[in-house]
Amino acid sequence: MLLRTLETGVVGAPMAGGPTSPELVAAVGEAGGLGFLAAGYLTAPQLASAIAEVWDASSRPFGVNLFVPAQANAYAVGPGELTGAERADAVAAYRETLGDDARSVGVEPGEPRPGDDDDWERKLDLVVRERVPLVSFTFGLPSTAVLGELRRAGIETVATVTDVDEAAAALGAGVDGLCLQGPEGGGHRGTLDPAKEPSASDLLDLVAAVRSQTDVPIVAGGGIATPERAAQVRAAGADAVQVGTALLLTPEAGTGLAYRRALADPSYERTAVTRAYSGRLARGLETEFLRRHDGHAPAAYPEVHHLTVPLRRASARAERSDLLALWAGSGWRSARPVPAATVVALLSH
Domain residues of the chain, as ranges?
2-346
Integer Cα distance of 110 and 68 in angstroms: 22
Integer Cα distance of 167 and 211 in angstroms: 10
Q: What pLDDT, on a 0 to 100 scale, did the predictor assign at position 236?
A: 98
**Is the previous residue joined to 266 through a cis bond, with omega within 30 degrees of 0?**
no
Q: What tens digit of pLDDT does each residue of 113-128 get?
A: 999 999 999 999 999 9
pLDDT in tens for each of the 349 residues of the chain? Answer: 899 999 999 999 999 999 999 999 999 999 999 999 999 999 999 999 999 999 999 999 999 999 999 999 999 888 888 999 999 999 999 999 999 999 999 999 999 999 999 999 999 999 999 999 999 999 999 999 999 999 999 999 999 999 999 999 999 999 999 999 999 999 999 999 999 989 999 999 999 999 999 999 999 999 999 999 999 999 999 999 999 999 999 999 999 999 999 999 999 999 999 999 999 999 999 999 999 999 999 999 999 999 999 999 999 999 989 999 999 999 999 999 999 999 999 999 9
Q: What pLDDT, on a 0 to 100 scale, did the predictor assign at position 181?
A: 98
Pairing of strands 177-181, 218-221: parallel
Outline where DSSP puts E strands in the chain.
10-12, 34-38, 62-67, 134-138, 156-161, 177-181, 187-188, 218-221, 240-243, 271-274, 282-285
Please return the burial class of 238, using the count of CB atoms within 10 Å of its CB with bins 0-12, 13-18 and 19+: buried
Outline where DSSP puts E strands in 68-138.
134-138
Q: What is the CATH code of the structural domain delimited by 2-346?
A: 3.20.20.70
Integer Cα distance of 120 and 139 in angstroms: 12
| pTM score, whole prediction | 0.96
Integer Cα distance of 214 and 130 in angstroms: 30
**Of 122, 135, 129, which is closest to residue 63 (Cα–Cα)?**
135
Neighbour-count burial for 157-192, b at 16+ CB within 10 Å, e otherwise: bbbbbbbbebbebbbebbbbbbbbbbbbbbbbbbbb
DSSP state, 65? E
- Quick check: 162 and 191 in contact, CB under 8 A? yes
Please state, in angstroms and as integers, the Cα–Cα distance from residue 260 to each residue in 45, 197, 300, 318, 332, following that order: 28, 29, 28, 14, 11
Outline where DSSP puts E strands in 47-133.
62-67
